[in-house]
Amino acid sequence: MYGDVANKLILDAKRTSNLSEIPLYQSDLVKDILKEISDLNNDVEYLEEQEQLLREDGENTTEEETKINQCQLFVTHLSMRRNKRCLLAYEKLRADKIDEFSWLNLDPITDSTKESSRTRNNISDNSIYTNYTTQLALDNLSHPEQEYFKNYQDLLLEYKSNFADIDLSGNLEPPTIIFIDVRVLKNGGEVQTEYGSFNLIKDSQFYVRKSDVERLIQQGYLEEL
């Protein structure tokens, strides 16, 4: 039945909206919906031709035949329009999650096989951001989405350059605590802060100002204790 495939896509979008990552692009469903839209468009053209013929043959055309054709044309138009709206809603949701991830200033995963599960879980579970898109695997994006992500990051970088003294990617919620205990999850070299410097040596622990290490927590170098 027309609309069933689009309904599957919307259910996938609903599930995606509750995830902290962007799942694999549903290319097969999108292709099926586009084919269905094309078929519906062909039906519309045929029904419009039939309507024109019925008008030209007015004397031999019954009112019932006219109403049936108009009803079929109306339902076909609605089905095609609904499919288009479902596609746009799906694409808009994924674009919004790409925007959201870009603002957090995190590095995307380019090869999930090289990313340790401990690091990925740390970004998701211990990030200062909750209910945000904190993970993005480039392989899960369609080619147009990858281009969109790159171009959006370029625009964002240009915009942020006008506010060099302000961290526009910082947490909007005021901190409840100033200093926190953290543990180093992986080696990362020396880190300079207003209160001094420390080296990111795996399994070492520090008592630091939270605002100084928020980005390191996001990137999986540290976890809050």
Q: Are residues 76 and 149 in the same domain?
A: no
- Rounded to an integer, the average pLDDT of 133-146 is 89
Domain boundary among 101, 133, 160: 101
**Which residue shows structure tokens 């994924």?**
94
Q: Which residue did the predictor score with more confidence, 51 or 91?
A: 91
d(CA 113, CA 9): 27
- Do residues 197 and 152 share a domain? yes
> Cβ contacts of residue 6 below 8 Å, gap of 6+?
33, 36, 82, 83, 86, 87
Cα–chain center distance at 2: 26
Distance spanning both ends of the chain, measured CA to CA: 53
| Same-domain pairing of 117 and 138 | yes
- C-alpha span between 102 and 66 (Å, rounded): 54
| pLDDT-based confidence at residue 171 (cuts at 50, 70, 90) | low
Determine contact, residues 98/22, Cβ cutoff 8 Å.
yes
Answer whether 79's CB lies under 8 Å from 2's CB.
Answer: yes
- The H or E element spanning position 70 is helix 63-103
Position 151 confidence tier, pLDDT thresholds 50, 70, 90 = very high
Same domain? For 127 and 189 the reply is yes
Last residue of a domain, one of 65, 81, 101: 101
* pTM of the entire predicted model: 0.69
Total number of domains in the chain: 2
Q: Specify if 106 maps to a domain.
A: no
Query: Which pairs from 42-49 meet CB under 8 Å and 24+ separation?
Result: 43/76, 44/73, 44/76, 44/77, 44/80, 47/72, 47/73, 47/76, 48/73
Higher pLDDT, 138 or 118: 138
Does residue 128 surpass a pLDDT of 70?
Answer: no
Query: How much is the average pLDDT of 1-27?
Result: 89
User: 5 to each of 81, 134, 156, 215, how far by Cα in Å?
Assistant: 14, 29, 35, 41
Domain that holds residue 26: 4-101
Q: Retrieve residue 194's tokens.
A: 């207003």
pLDDT single digits (tens) 100-116: 888 877 667 766 444 44
Residues 122 and 141 in one domain: yes
Q: What is the pLDDT of residues 44-64, one digit of tens each?
A: 999 888 888 877 776 677 888
